[in-house]
Structure 1
């Protein structure tokens, strides 16, 4: 006999029960539409959540096979969801705009079975969900390299974590975009904040990291493979 919490491979004909966790309603709607089109009959979206508390409640109530989990969430981030609802309760597939090494490695350490970025296509996401439900580990190709490098010791994860611990979650987001060459106005548009707020976060980031310019910040982030 199986239960709804049994992985999809054990339930054969049953669709994979999925909870979507992301703090942007429009993105959740887009994922739902993509999965409905590409995964009709194979994926059943049983709930959505926008922050840590609602995600934990949805997972506890719905007992999904797979949780599509954003890395950065109000209330503590994806890692906090996995801490409160361990992998024994569901299998986690990170679906994030971030492809930074520290996010990938930290999320896998937290218990996720895979990590893909938000430029993934609908059919690719359906395939990734099915594979994670079956117990496989799934990564976008570039992100798999981060994980291998971390375990091989090529990335000093401890040093990266120590530096990043000085920054708030929003400062990390601003830092990464600025280091990639975004203008302040572009960062503001991307993160739905004002240009003034971007400037404030940038000043705070440079001060905390003891850097003096965006050029030094780019070099700092590149040396740590955060871009």
Structure 2
């Protein structure tokens, strides 16, 4: 993200209470520094979390206007957070407003986008978004609008325009969200070090994910894995 250029919310006398959910502390710190100055942006960061369990606890306790939610999280991913927080997405009997979720992720994969939207998120933007645009997106989602990075909206339109539910891929369903991301990057020809850098994880962790993917899919090497991913149009 680049610098916030103008006070989107504060200039209109508005505020939005936000929770940041991402398993990378440095990224959360960067987002907070970028958008979290209430007097300048109107954004009040009221909590942070780095895994599913903590996210559910913080969101339940703070009932923010908007949750900025990463797709890939320890404990089941963003979809699991959405599933467990589903009761908070409608106005509570105590008069508390609905909590709205905006996915903020490095992934631009169609299955990630569609998964969190089906789970109840109001939008999906990638981490290349500018600070000013992210502030604007938060207020739009708080108002009930749907917000997407430009090319991602097409994934959602295509998915929900389909008249038939796509068949369940039992092999793909065996993989976690993080394993799918590693699989996709391996199939695109990325080296382990490149994958580690892009996903903010260690090379050893990448190796562990690749081993798990090969075992679950009963494949022998990355060449077979690439053919498998290409056949399913995951590349």
Q: Which interval holds the TM-score relative to the shorter structure?
A: 0.7 to 0.9
Matches within 5 A, 1:1-227: 13-36=13-36, 40-86=40-86, 87-88=89-90, 89-153=98-162, 157-160=166-169, 162-190=170-198, 191-195=200-204, 197-211=205-219, 213-227=221-235
Conserved? CA contact 2:76–2:176, under 8 Å: no
CA deviation vs aligned residue, 1:150-182 (integer Å, no higher than 9, x gap): 12239974345x332122344223212212221
Q: Counterpart of 1:158 in 2: which secondary structure?
A: coil
Relative to the length of structure 1, the TM-score reads 0.82
Conserved? CA contact 2:22–2:28, under 8 Å: yes
CA deviation vs aligned residue, 1:98-144 (integer Å, no higher than 9, x gap): 11111111100110000011111101111111111111111111111
Relative to the length of structure 2, the TM-score reads 0.80
Give the Cα–Cα distance (whole angstroms) in 2 for the partners of residues 225 and 30 of structure 1.
34
Q: Counterpart of 1:40 in 2: which secondary structure?
A: helix
CA deviation vs aligned residue, 1:62-109 (integer Å, no higher than 9, x gap): 221110011111222112222221222400000011111111111001
Give the Cα–Cα distance (whole angstroms) in 2 for the partners of residues 132 and 171 of structure 1.
29
Give the Cα–Cα distance (whole angstroms) in 2 for the partners of residues 150 and 68 of structure 1.
23
Aligned residues: 215
CA deviation vs aligned residue, 1:5-47 (integer Å, no higher than 9, x gap): xxxx9xx834011111111110001111111469824211111
Please, which runs of 5 or more residues in structure 1 have no aligned partner? 1-8
Q: CA RMSD in A?
A: 2.7
Please, which runs of 5 or more residues in structure 2 have no aligned partner? 1-8, 91-97
CA 1:84–1:39: 2 relative to 1, 3 Å = farther
CA 1:206–1:115: 2 relative to 1, 3 Å = same
Give the Cα–Cα distance (whole angstroms) in 2 for the partners of residues 59 and 200 of structure 1.
31
Relative to structure 2, which stretch is displaced further, 60-69 or 31-40? 31-40
Q: Counterpart of 2:160 in 1: which secondary structure?
A: helix
